[in-house]
Amino acid sequence: MTGLNALKLDANVVVLGKDRVGKSALTVRFLSRRFIGEYGNIESIYSHNVVMDGRDITFNIWDSPCCQDLSMETSPYEKKVQWANGFVLVYSICDRASFNSVTKLIQSIKDFQGMVMVPMVIVDNKRDLNHRWTVLSEEGRMLTLTIDCQFYVVSAAENYYSVLMVFHGLIDRIWKSKSAIKKQAGIKDIVKSMSAVFARRRTDSL
Ligand SMILES: Nc1nc2c(ncn2[C@@H]2O[C@H](COP(=O)(O)OP(=O)(O)OP(=O)(O)O)[C@@H](O)[C@H]2O)c(=O)[nH]1
């Protein structure tokens, strides 16, 4: 269960994207600061505690092989999406189809979560392979403008800090969205108790 108090947050994060875009590389880079090259096809949930901006964050990061991500009708996918508080959507600059699949993922997440504001970030990975690009970073930037989310250009192979920024940015979004939900729930409680008081007064005066 996720929770929010003054300085503590549990965040369930799902990393999604087409095959071989670097989902595991990105996740492992964040968790261990390392790039190990080959990662296999194992589905894993990693738990990781960090302190960010004075907040105690527990990340639960679900890294799964691609094909499950793109079979959007299946219930494991739906379950995963509903479990998440935030999403890292990855494409590779060398793979145009992976960029197109991010657009589909965004739509499916919105459909399953049914929320207006779903915290997500888009990651343009493998920037070290600039000579093999098929997707311009401007295209990724344009995509984020249409859905109000953050955009990161990274190379999981070459740089730890850019990857760290991805998870930093996402946690900020999750934090804000949870605070907004809490506030809304608070307002609803106040409205409920006021309605109860007025209803009681009406019955008393009859
Ligand atoms: N040059 C370069 N290679 C990368 C980068 N990130 C990942 N790779 C390589 O891309 C390949 C796929 O990386 P993975 O992290 O396994 O990709 P994935 O998205 O988890 O793949 P699936 O598990 O098949 O869905 C591996 O050979 C990685 O070494 C990067 O930033 N630059």
Assign a CATH topology to domain 3-205: Rossmann fold (3.40.50)
Report the residue among 18, 24, 90 best suited for mutation to probe ligand 1: largest number of ligand atoms under 8 A from its CB: 24
Q: Where are the domains of the chain?
A: 3-205
Distance CA 203, CA 82 (A): 42
Place of tokens 């991010």: 102
pLDDT above 80 (res 68): no
pLDDT score of 165: 97
143 CA from centroid of ligand 1 (Å): 22
pLDDT average, residue stretch 163-169: 97
Q: Which atom of ligand 1 is nearest to the CA of 158?
A: 31
pLDDT average, residue stretch 41-70: 85
pLDDT above 80 (res 193): no
Confidence of residue 187 (pLDDT cuts 50, 70, 90): low
pLDDT average, residue stretch 39-60: 91
Q: Which residues line ligand 1 (CB under 6 A)?
A: 17, 19-25, 37-39, 41, 65-66, 125-126, 128-129, 155-157
Model pTM score:
0.85
User: Dihedral angle at the C-alpha atoms of 164, 169, 175, 181, nearest 10 degrees?
Assistant: -140
